Structures are given as structure tokens and as C-alpha cells.
Amino acid sequence: MTQNPYVIDQMISAKAIAARVEALAREITAHFRGTDKLVVVGLLRGSFVFIADLVRELDLPVEVDFLEASSYGDATHSSREVRILKDLRGEIAGRDVLVVEDIVDTGFTLSHVLHLLRARGPKRLEVCALLDKPSRREVDIRATWTGFEIPDEFVVGYGIDFAQRNRNLPYIGKVRFLA
């Protein structure tokens, strides 16, 4: 399969992302103050850069775990079929849990993941998403904390990919197809 050529226009600078991550960390730290250990669950793969920056800013004892769910593959739109590709290694029953997501789009993936995690009996279960596209929502779901609300654009960078490319960009960019 050949892909159309594309360019990437910067939407959110690395500096703006860093400032927002610091602010989110302060809010999350205040919310979970007093926890004996916060289990931070990164949704792979898109959240890995965000979670790394976020946990370094949290002033809390943290444990990091990962869950990989997919509803995109190499496409630019959700298939609406969520598959769990990697499950958590640790237990979350009775624990404070923060799910870290790269982007909330249709809401299908996040809804599926939260349903799965709630069934495991966490004490508290909250969500922090770097990006939110409310205009695309098909499932009634919201993150507790959101970095940036964006329009219905296909984006890459800061861990978010298009066909496994562009994760290494330090900013969030809009993909613009040329042909």
C-alpha cells in the first residue's frame, strides 16, 4: 500500500506542551495528595512521551504500568473495534489509578479501557489526556484532565504517529496530505 505524500504543520509547540504538562502535574498531584502510591497507566503507544514527561513532574509516589489497545492500525480513522494488545503487569484493585492517553477522539478506545479497568476494582480511576477532539466523540466520555482541545485534524508528534512515523517530533503537528 502506498501512502499519499504529506507535510506536517506545527499546531502546538514543544514549549507549550512542556508548560501544560507542568500545570497538569500540579493539578493531578493536588487531586491524589495523600495516596500511598499512584498507579500511572500509559496507553501505548501514543502516550509514551507524554507519560514520561508527566510522571517526572508528579510530586507523588508513582508506579508506572502500560496497556496497549488499538483501534487504528495504520489508518487515519478509528475502526471502532478495540483490541487489547498488551495488558497490565500489576494489580490495580484498591489502588489509585491514573490512565494517561495521548488523544481522545471517538472515545471508543478509552471507553473500552476504562470498562476493563473498572472491573478490576481500583479505589479511584481518573484519566489525563494530552489531546481532546470533542467534535469527533461518538461515546459519552471525558478525561478528568486534558492538555489541549483540538479541532478535527489528523495529528502527529510528541509520541503520536501516522503508520509508525513522526512519533519523535517534539511538537504536535497537523498532517496535510498533498495528493
Give backbone dihedrals phi and psi of 108, rounded to 5 degrees, phi first: -60, -50
- From the list 1, 2, 8, the residue with the least C-alpha distance to 155 is 8
Nearest Cα to Cα of residue 154 among 162, 143, 146: 162
Exposed/middle/buried for residue 5 (C-beta within 10 Å: 0-12, 13-18, 19+)? exposed
Q: Determine whether 59 is an active site residue.
A: no
**Which one of 53, 96, 102, 105 is the catalytic residue?**
105
Work out whether strand 124-132 and strand 38-44 pair parallel, antiparallel, or are unpaired. unpaired
Active site residues: 105
